[in-house]
Every structure is written in structure tokens, then in C-alpha cells.
């Protein structure tokens, strides 16, 4: 009986040591693999980890993580976004708890005010509204959208053109310039065309801005073998996905006082569009997945390399 008790005690010590080593190595290696190496079940490891943490210490850790994710989003993320990011990290937590933690920390996400949209029904006859608000697209590189917005930098307005793939709402091209001319939208289109493997026979949709109706831009579409579609004049809902991108950019990321230099604006906007928006920020259209992650998952399912 004494030997049996000593054996159980030695087993407990061994498991405790294994759990401690897994804690140390989990920052660099997958927990599943470490559990197999130390011959412990994953559920047993997580159960003992929860037992070791007192409720006060655990809540303090969660508060710290919520505050960190909120700061990374520049005070823009709400409870849904923070919940998605925490679950990606393996946290077992619900939205009401996230909301409670945000309330304790006095964290309030930035929400845009209402916008009075102008409506009109006059169409451009030579470039019809072919898309007609059919925003659900089955595969990448079938429908792209484009639009222009303005950014305050270096004491004057700069202009941002963005190209969006409607399939997963992934940003595939963009350009920033001091002039809102045709060269700006052509530069954004060229970037998308090169980065996406030079696709053809796709539909490019935009509003009726003079840049997109210009001869230079239409010639570039013809060269790339792309068809053109335009929203009805004054009806921004016909290009709603692009309006949503600019809304997120301006309310979540761009400083309220603008940028000190054009270089700072270029660097910061590039980080948001091509990294945070595409790879990190949860998107409701993709059921909480970031656009690039959703496209990656779609490609794996469909067998696209």
C-alpha cells in the first residue's frame, strides 16, 4: 500500500512537471503536439490550467487581453470583433463576458454617425449598371469594385483609390495621390491586376466618377479584357461594399486630425488595408473570418492553388 501511494505521488509530480513544461513551450509550439510528447491528454492539460488559475487572476488576464486588442484596433473594435479575435487565440469566452470586461475597462468602440445619402435614378446609358447590387460572388477575380475617398495629410487633402474583390471583400489594390485624376485609379487597378495574377474577363464596378469614366481608364480596362459597370448617379448603395470599406477605414483607423506627412499616411494606410483589414479584422460577411483568411479557406475547399 505504501509503494502504491508513492507511485501515485510520483505520477502526480511527473504530470505537474509536464504541465509546467507545456506552459513554457506553448508560446513556440502547438499545444496538441506538446501534449502528445509528454503523454498527457489535451483536455486534462486545459482542465488543470483552469484549476490553477484563481477567478481574480483569470479575470485580470482577460481584461488585459481585451484592453490589448482594443488598443490594437485604435479604439474601433466592439465586443463582436474582440470575441472573434480571442476565440482565434483559443480562449473559451462568450460575448456577454467580453462586453462585461469592456464595461469594466470603460472601453467604448468608435461608432460613425448617420449619413444623409443622396439618391437619383439617372443612369449613364453607355456604361450600364451591370452589377445591379449582386454583391454575392462565388469565386475570386470575377467582380471587382473601385472607389475614391479623401484623406487629410501634410496640411492638405490627398486622395485614396481602392480596388475590392467582392468574393470575400478582400482589398486587392490601392493608390494614394495628391490629385484625384485618372492616373490614381489606373495605378490602383494596375496593382490589383499584377497582384492577382493578371486575370481577365472580370467585371469592374464603380460609381460614375469622372476618373472611372475617363478615356484613359476605359482603355486600361479594355487592355486587361475587363468589362465595366457603373452605379446609378447619386446612388451610393449601388457600390455599398466600397462605401463600407471607407467607413471602416475612417472611423476605425485614420487619426481624427489626419497625418503629419504623406509618407506617414501611405505607410499607415497600407498597413491597415493590406494587413489588418485583409488578414486580421473579422468581417461579418465572412462569418467572422478576415477576407484573406476566408479566401484562403475557399481556395483550399475548391482546390485552387
Q: What's the rounded Cα separation, in Å, for the pair 103 and 160? A: 35
Q: How confident is the model at residue 76 (pLDDT cuts 50, 70, 90)?
A: confident
pLDDT recorded at residue 47? 75
Q: Helix or strand or coil: residue 300?
A: helix
Q: What's the rounded Cα separation, in Å, for the pair 166 and 143? A: 6
Q: What's the rounded Cα separation, in Å, for the pair 28 and 39? A: 19
Percent of the chain with pLDDT strictly greater than 70:
87
Lowest-confidence range among 27-41, 57-71, 129-143, 171-185? 27-41
pLDDT recorded at residue 24? 79
List pLDDT tens digits, range 177-202: 999 999 999 999 999 999 999 999 99
pLDDT recorded at residue 303? 54
- Phi/psi at 68 (nearest 5 deg)? -65, -45
pLDDT recorded at residue 147? 95
The answer to pTM > 0.85 is no
Contact 217, 182 (CB under 8 A): yes
pLDDT recorded at residue 301? 62
DSSP output for 149-165: EEEEETTEEEEEEEEEE
Q: Give how far Cα 88 sits from Cα of 81, 82, 166, 269, 293, Å.
A: 11, 10, 24, 25, 12
Parallel, antiparallel or unpaired: strands 170-177 and 203-206: unpaired
List pLDDT tens digits, range 123-182: 555 788 999 899 999 999 999 999 999 999 988 999 999 999 999 999 999 999 999 999
Q: Please state at what angle helix 95-104 crosses helix 79-88, rounded to 10 degrees.
A: 120
The arithmetic mean of pLDDT across residues 237-247, rounded, is 93
Amino acid at each position: 500500500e505504501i509503494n502504491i501511494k508513492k507511485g501515485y505521488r510520483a505520477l502526480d509530480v511527473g504530470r505537474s512537471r509536464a504541465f509546467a513544461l507545456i506552459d513554457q513551450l506553448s508560446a513556440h509550439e502547438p499545444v496538441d503536439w506538446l501534449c502528445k510528447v509528454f503523454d498527457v491528454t489535451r483536455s486534462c492539460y486545459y482542465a488543470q490550467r483552469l484549476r490553477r488559475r484563481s477567478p481574480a487572476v483569470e479575470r485580470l488576464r482577460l481584461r488585459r487581453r481585451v484592453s490589448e486588442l482594443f488598443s490594437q484596433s485604435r479604439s474601433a473594435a466592439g465586443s463582436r470583433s474582440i470575441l472573434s479575435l480571442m476565440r482565434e487565440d483559443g480562449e473559451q469566452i462568450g460575448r456577454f463576458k467580453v462586453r462585461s470586461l469592456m464595461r469594466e475597462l470603460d472601453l467604448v468602440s468608435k461608432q460613425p454617425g448617420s449619413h444623409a445619402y443622396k439618391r437619383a435614378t439617372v443612369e449613364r446609358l453607355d456604361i450600364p449598371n451591370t452589377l445591379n447590387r449582386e454583391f454575392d460572388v462565388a469565386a475570386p477575380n470575377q467582380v471587382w469594385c473601385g472607389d475614391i475617398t479623401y484623406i487629410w495629410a501634410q496640411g492638405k487633402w490627398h486622395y485614396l483609390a481602392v480596388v475590392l474583390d467582392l468574393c470575400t471583400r478582400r482589398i486587392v489594390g490601392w493608390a494614394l495621390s495628391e490629385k484625384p485624376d485618372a492616373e490614381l485609379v489606373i495605378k490602383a487597378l494596375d496593382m490589383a491586376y499584377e497582384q492577382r495574377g493578371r486575370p481577365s474577363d472580370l467585371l469592374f464596378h464603380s460609381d460614375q466618377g469622372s476618373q472611372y469614366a475617363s478615356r484613359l481608364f476605359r482603355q486600361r480596362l479594355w487592355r486587361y479584357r475587363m468589362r465595366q459597370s457603373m452605379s446609378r448617379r447619386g446612388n451610393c448603395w449601388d457600390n455599398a461594399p466600397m462605401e463600407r470599406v471607407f467607413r471602416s477605414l475612417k472611423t476605425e483607423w485614420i487619426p481624427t486630425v489626419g497625418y503629419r506627412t504623406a509618407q506617414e499616411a501611405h505607410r499607415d494606410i497600407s498597413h491597415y488595408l493590406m494587413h489588418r483589414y485583409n488578414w486580421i479584422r473579422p468581417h461579418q460577411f465572412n462569418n467572422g473570418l478576415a477576407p484573406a483568411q476566408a479566401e484562403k479557406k475557399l481556395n483550399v475547399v475548391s482546390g485552387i492553388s
